């Protein structure tokens, strides 16, 4: 019988070797697993309703066959995250070089005990061409299902990192990991993860990479190596806000626009997730200078807060503004116009 706990014995080195990273390919893979769920998470319902009719040119049969819901996920679709600037292009270039043998090994594990679906068998038959077939399908899927919402997704991920970095500075590693996920507990130098599908195991832990995610919710994914490096992909804080304003498309009664002006009302509704001046300007089709003036007025009025994240200044609704948006209108704004990057 399998035990249910994986333990990482944290060395003193992990205190100085904890970092955050982003993984676009992990988001793609987790979103595909969500699409294949017979009863998908209700939190992502607005996204699901939008994308299901936009995938006609995507080889969805292949993609769903290699990312079925279940206790195992194919490791080649969850490569180790290397930093905050990793792009999907970089990850797909690496995926194209994965050996067909590794693809077969991963997918046979994922489908263990079940018949292999036809697209997986055809993928095996394709041999060296197989990884490239997967990359081509993922590109098409990214453009249709993820790219239109990337600004929203990135805003939530960056907000999570900013928050947790601040927590780690004030409370150390314990506070950083304390509310990461219900499956995670930290007792002294032992980080324990409750995973019933894994055998009981203990590993050294010297380098920890934390990867916030939108589509992983409500799961926690583990990636570890014998060298002591391990990675936790977890649901970002505020993931519930990422789809606010996505539905419905049509505006109903725009009382907030009458109060603040239509442009400021639209900006305020967009800022249910953190965004920069440039991102807001691009989505509204206005100049950054004009948007900056509107943001300054909203900030002075207590409607938005701002903080620096890397080279950008991000803005987000205050609780007061969120309440006004909720009661006065139900369809303003939404960030849905950007490409790869």
Which comes out higher in pLDDT, residue 150 or 137?
Answer: 137
7, 189 in Cβ contact below 8 A?
no
d(CA 277, CA 281): 6
d(CA 110, CA 130): 17
Query: Token pair for residue 144?
Result: 């249709």
Q: Is the pLDDT of residue 68 over 80?
A: yes
149, 51 in Cβ contact below 8 A?
no
pLDDT at 122: 96
d(CA 232, CA 211): 6
CATH class for the domain made up of 248-328: mainly alpha
Q: What residue segments make up the domains of the chain, in order of their start? A: 5-18+161-237, 24-151, 248-328
Q: Which residue has the tokens 């997986």?
A: 120
Q: Is the pLDDT of residue 144 over 80?
A: yes
User: What is the torsional sign of CA 330, 332, 337, 340?
Assistant: negative
Report how far Cα 20 is from the mean position of its chain's Cα atoms: 13
The bridge status of strand 18-20 relative to strand 207-213 is parallel
Q: Is the pLDDT of residue 99 over 90?
A: yes
Q: Is the pLDDT of residue 77 over 80?
A: yes
Lowest mean pLDDT among 61-65, 81-85, 166-170: 166-170
d(CA 179, CA 39): 26
274, 159 in Cβ contact below 8 A?
yes
pLDDT in tens, 270-317: 887 788 888 888 878 788 888 888 898 888 888 888 888 767 788 888
Largest Cα separation within the chain, whole Å, is 64
Span 177-192, average pLDDT: 82
Q: Give every CB contact of residue 86 below 8 A, 6+ residues apart in sequence.
A: 21, 22, 23, 24
pLDDT at 329: 46
pLDDT band (50, 70, 90) for residue 88:
very high
Report how far Cα 201 is from the mean position of its chain's Cα atoms: 27
- Burial class for 167, CB neighbours closer than 10 Å (0-12, 13-18, 19+): middle
155, 273 in Cβ contact below 8 A?
yes
d(CA 191, CA 203): 10
Please state whether 224 falls in left (phi above 0), alpha (psi between -120 and 50) or beta: beta
- Burial class for 180, CB neighbours closer than 10 Å (0-12, 13-18, 19+): buried
Q: Is the pTM of this model over 0.85?
A: no
pLDDT at 327: 60
């Amino acid at each position: 019988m399998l035990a249910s706990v994986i333990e990482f014995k944290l060395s003193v080195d992990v205190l100085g070797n904890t970092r955050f990273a982003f993984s676009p390919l992990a988001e793609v893979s987790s979103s595909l697993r969500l699409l294949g769920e017979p009863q998908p998470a209700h939190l992502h319902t607005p996204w699901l309703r939008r994308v299901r009719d936009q995938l006609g040119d995507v080889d969805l049969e292949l993609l769903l066959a290699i990312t079925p819901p279940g206790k195992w996920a194919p490791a080649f679709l969850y490569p180790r995250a290397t930093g905050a600037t990793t792009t999907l292009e970089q990850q797909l270039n690496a995926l194209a070089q994965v050996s067909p043998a590794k693809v077969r090994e991963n997918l046979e594990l994922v489908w263990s005990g079940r018949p292999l679906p036809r697209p997986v068998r055809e993928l095996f038959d394709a041999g060296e061409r197989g990884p490239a077939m997967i990359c081509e399908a993922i590109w098409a899927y990214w453009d249709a299902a993820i790219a239109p919402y990337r600004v929203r997704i990135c805003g939530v991920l960056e907000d999570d990192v900013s928050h947790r970095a601040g927590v780690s500075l004030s409370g150390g590693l314990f506070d950083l990991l304390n509310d990461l996920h219900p499956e995670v507990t930290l007792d002294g130098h032992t980080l324990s993860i409750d995973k019933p599908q894994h055998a009981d195991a203990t590993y050294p832990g010297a380098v920890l990479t934390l990867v916030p995610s939108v589509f992983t919710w409500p799961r926690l994914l583990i990636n570890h190596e014998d060298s002591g490096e391990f990675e936790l992909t977890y649901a970002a804080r505020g993931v519930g806000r990422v789809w606010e304003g996505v539905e419905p498309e049509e505006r109903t009664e725009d009382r907030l626009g009458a109060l603040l002006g239509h442009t400021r009302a639209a900006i305020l509704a967009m800022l249910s997730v953190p965004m920069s001046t440039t991102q807001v300007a691009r989505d509204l089709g206005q100049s950054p200078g004009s948007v900056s003036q509107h943001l300054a007025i909203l900030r002075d009025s207590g409607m938005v807060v701002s903080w620096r994240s890397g080279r950008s200044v991000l803005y987000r609704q205050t609780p007061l503004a969120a309440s006004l948006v909720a009661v006065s209108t139900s369809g303003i704004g939404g960030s849905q116009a950007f490409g790869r990057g």
